[in-house]
């Protein structure tokens, strides 16, 4: 019996943030999206890490590496996959071959007390690979064990879709049908997705905008008979396994940035749907010595406003801006309910009243003064960055430290420089590589500076493309799926 079970003492079960009392195992929620009551899944309790365990994990990371650390952490949350299988899944996921170095998430110093944690060295050059690659292996494993197959249907404006495709390509039992707005992704993003030749990956370029693609996905998901018959699933950011995978790099970053477990660090996280920083919250709840979790937003400052005022106000499409850090352009933060549930003392009825009732009625909720006063105890701070800030930060970081950063990371660095404190190392999560955002890099630094691209992607745009142009018509998409899924 491993240390993990002794720490938890009980089987690990998952519950909904909206009060549904059913307790489910990890394997039951792995392939699911929302809980049946519309809430998000969370563990019944966070395992608390004692000092000897934290010391051992530091040793594991130093001597056995990231995959071994990932196994230690995941095994506290997953007790329905045999330990040796889980260890093998982690080892297969976090390799130097996929992430470019044995360190997997190396730190890059910017200046004393401020560094970047590189999370973007996976196949699609953004941090979503850290979790999605694990999800691909977990899905293949679980589907194989059940003798089932799954057809993942999604809509993307670029990043999530490519991370999902690179994670699921060639995986047994999984097909991906990814809708994207025809002709509206960057040449790099198009090339990245459409150059995949794997038979289980279907790129459907929809004649319309992203919202049209998204609406089709919703319509198909609401067709329950079709959904069941064709075993339709998703890989969106509310999936608990994705969040769990992200918890690991908070521990790894902490061990790399400190010499002993007596020290504290803070993290700044470029945020959109609150998935990344929510994993930091989970790490902190487990006992990782994190002083502050700084939520950095762009002009779409739903979250920054909440942490400043206690009001959560979702935005309409007219109020949602297209910015130069596009992966943070959100109108509402789909993982945010998880944190609020903890903040409210895990009161499912109150969480439901805020998210299901107030939000759908008025598009806004405001915490009571007592509730808002609790936020300090969770370590959160927030800040906001604009297009001009991004350009200035990219330029200052390139000229001052010789480090080229992407636009999302620039939002983080801008806010981190404002909120860092003496004596507490600040780690900014690098969420994408600048090679993905050449136009803004040129705007910040002039046409002569080029973001380096990993050698393996040098000829990306000239590779043959495999995609199907489709009308923005739900029935036609459903027919395409029927034609490509054997029953
Ligand atoms: C998805 C994404 C984000 C936002 O992450 P959340 O988990 O949605 O908060 C930030 N930067 C990049 C590059 C991303 O792809």
Q: Please report the pLDDT score of residue 21 as a whole number.
A: 83
320 falls within a domain: yes
Residues with CB under 6 A from ligand 1: 126, 128, 159, 237, 270-276, 327-328, 408, 431-432
Pairwise CA distance, residues 188 & 64, whole Å: 35
Instruction: Indicate if the pLDDT at residue 285 is higher than 90.
Output: yes
Q: Mapping DSSP to helix (H, G, I), strand (E, B) and coil, where does residue 421 land?
A: coil
User: Could you identify the residue written with the tokens 């007592």?
Assistant: 370
Instruction: Indicate if the pLDDT at residue 382 is higher than 70.
Output: yes
431-453 tens-digit pLDDT: 999 998 989 999 999 999 999 98
pTM score? 0.95
In this prediction, residues 310-331 reach a mean pLDDT of 91
400-440 tens-digit pLDDT: 999 999 999 999 999 999 999 999 999 999 999 999 898 99
Number of folded domains in the chain? 1
454 falls within a domain: no
Distance from residue 8's CA to the centre of ligand 1 (Å): 31
The residue from 13, 108, 128, 227 that is catalytic is 128
What is the DSSP annotation of 193-224?
HHT---TTEEEEEEES-HHHHHHHHHHHHH-H
Mean pLDDT score of the chain, rounded to an integer? 94
Atom from ligand 1 closest to the CA of residue 274 = 9
Instruction: Indicate if the pLDDT at residue 306 is higher than 90.
Output: yes
Q: Please report the pLDDT score of residue 179 as a whole number.
A: 96
Count of CB atoms within 10 A of residue 165's CB?
A: 28
In this prediction, residues 180-187 reach a mean pLDDT of 88
Distance from residue 84's CA to the centre of ligand 1 (Å): 32
Distance from residue 95's CA to the centre of ligand 1 (Å): 22
Instruction: Indicate if the pLDDT at residue 270 is higher than 90.
Output: yes
Helix (H) or strand (E) holding 53: helix 51-64
Q: Please report the pLDDT score of residue 211 as a whole number.
A: 84
In this prediction, residues 287-302 reach a mean pLDDT of 98
Residue to mutate (ligand 1; options 116, 123, 127, 167; most atoms within 8 A of CB): 127
Q: Please report the pLDDT score of residue 9 as a whole number.
A: 58
308 falls within a domain: yes
Strand partners, 312: 365
384-395 tens-digit pLDDT: 999 999 999 999
Distance from residue 436's CA to the centre of ligand 1 (Å): 14
239 falls within a domain: no
Q: What angle do CA 166, 38, 276 make, to 5 degrees?
A: 40
29-51 tens-digit pLDDT: 999 888 999 999 999 999 999 99
For residue 427, give the CATH number of its domain: 3.40.50.1100
Q: Please report the pLDDT score of residue 317 as a whole number.
A: 82
Q: Please report the pLDDT score of residue 159 as a whole number.
A: 80
Pairwise CA distance, residues 356 & 367, whole Å: 15
Instruction: Indicate if the pLDDT at residue 1 is higher than 70.
Output: no
User: Could you identify the residue written with the tokens 């990219």?
Assistant: 394
What is the DSSP annotation of 58-124?
HHHHHHH-HHHHHHHHHHHH--SS-HHHHHHHHHHHS-HHHHSSTTSS-EEEEETTEEEEE---STT
Q: Please report the pLDDT score of residue 14 as a whole number.
A: 97
346 falls within a domain: yes
Atom from ligand 1 closest to the CA of residue 270 = 10
Distance from residue 62's CA to the centre of ligand 1 (Å): 28
Residue 414 appears among annotated catalytic residues: no
Q: Please report the pLDDT score of residue 339 as a whole number.
A: 98
210 falls within a domain: no
Instruction: Quote the domain boundaries for residue 290.
Output: 107-123+246-445
Residue to mutate (ligand 1; options 293, 429, 431, 451; most atoms within 8 A of CB): 431
Instruction: Indicate if the pLDDT at residue 5 is higher than 60.
Output: no
15 falls within a domain: no
Instruction: Indicate if the pLDDT at residue 368 is higher than 80.
Output: yes
In this prediction, residues 11-30 reach a mean pLDDT of 94
Pairwise CA distance, residues 105 & 121, whole Å: 8
The alpha carbon dihedral of 415, 440, 272, 268 has a sign of: negative
Closest residue to atom 15 of ligand 1, CA basis: 327
48-69 tens-digit pLDDT: 999 999 999 999 999 999 999 9
480 falls within a domain: no
**Do residues 20 and 39 lie in contact, with contact meaning Cβ atoms separated by under 8 Å?**
yes
């Amino acid at each position: 019996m491993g240390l993990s079970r002794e720490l938890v003492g009980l089987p690990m079960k998952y519950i909904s943030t909206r009060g549904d009392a059913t307790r489910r195992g990890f394997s039951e929620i792995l392939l699911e999206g929302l809980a049946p009551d519309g809430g998000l899944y969370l563990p019944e309790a966070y395992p608390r890490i004692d000092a000897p365990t934290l010391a051992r994990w530091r040793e594991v990371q130093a001597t056995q590496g990231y995959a071994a650390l990932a196994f230690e952490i995941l095994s506290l949350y997953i007790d329905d996959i045999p330990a040796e299988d889980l260890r093998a899944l982690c080892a297969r996921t976090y390799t130097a071959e996929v992430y470019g170095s044995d360190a997997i998430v190396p730190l890059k110093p910017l200046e004393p007390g401020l560094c970047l944690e590189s999370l973007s060295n996976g196949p699609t050059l953004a941090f979503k690979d850290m979790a999605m690659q694990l999800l691909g292996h977990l899905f293949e494993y679980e589907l194989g064990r059940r003798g089932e197959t799954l057809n993942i249907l999604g809509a993307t404006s670029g990043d999530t879709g490519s991370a999902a495709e690179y994670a699921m390509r060639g995986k047994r039992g999984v097909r991906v049908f990814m809708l994207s707005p025809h002709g509206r992704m960057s040449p790099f993003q198009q090339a990245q997705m459409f150059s995949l030749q794997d038979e289980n990956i279907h790129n459907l370029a929809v004649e319309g905008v992203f919202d049209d693609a998204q609406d089709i996905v919703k319509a198909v998901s609401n067709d329950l008979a079709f959904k069941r018959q064709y075993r339709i699933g998703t890989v969106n950011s509310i999936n608990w396994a994705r969040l769990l995978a992200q918890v690991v790099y908070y521990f790894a970053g902490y061990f790399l940035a400190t010499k002993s477990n007596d020290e504290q660090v803070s993290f700044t996280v470029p945020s959109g749907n609150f998935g990344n920083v929510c994993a930091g919250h989970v790490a902190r709840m487990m006992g990782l010595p994190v002083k502050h979790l700084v939520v950095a937003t762009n002009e779409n400052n739903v979250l920054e406003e909440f942490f400043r005022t206690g009001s959560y106000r979702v935005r309409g499409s007219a109020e949602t801006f297209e910015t130069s850090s596009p992966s943070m352009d959100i109108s509402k933060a789909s993982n945010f309910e998880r944190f609020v549930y903890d903040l409210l003392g895990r009161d499912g009825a109150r969480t439901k009243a805020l998210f299901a009732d107030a939000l759908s009625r008025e598009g806004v909720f405001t915490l009571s003064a007592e509730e808002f006063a609790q936020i300090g105890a969770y370590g959160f701070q927030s800040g906001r960055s604009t297009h001009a800030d991004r350009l200035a930060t990219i330029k200052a970081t390139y000229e001052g430290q010789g480090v080229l950063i992407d636009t999302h990371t620039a939002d983080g660095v801008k806010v981190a420089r404002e909120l860092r404190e003496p004596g507490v190392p600040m780690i900014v999560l690098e969420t994408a590589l600048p090679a993905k955002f050449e136009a803004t890099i040129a705007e910040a630094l002039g046409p002569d500076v080029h973001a380096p691209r990993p050698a393996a992607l040098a000829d990306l745009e000239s590779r043959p493309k495999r995609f199907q142009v489709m009308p923005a018509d739900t029935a036609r998409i459903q027919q395409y799926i029927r034609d490509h899924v054997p029953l």
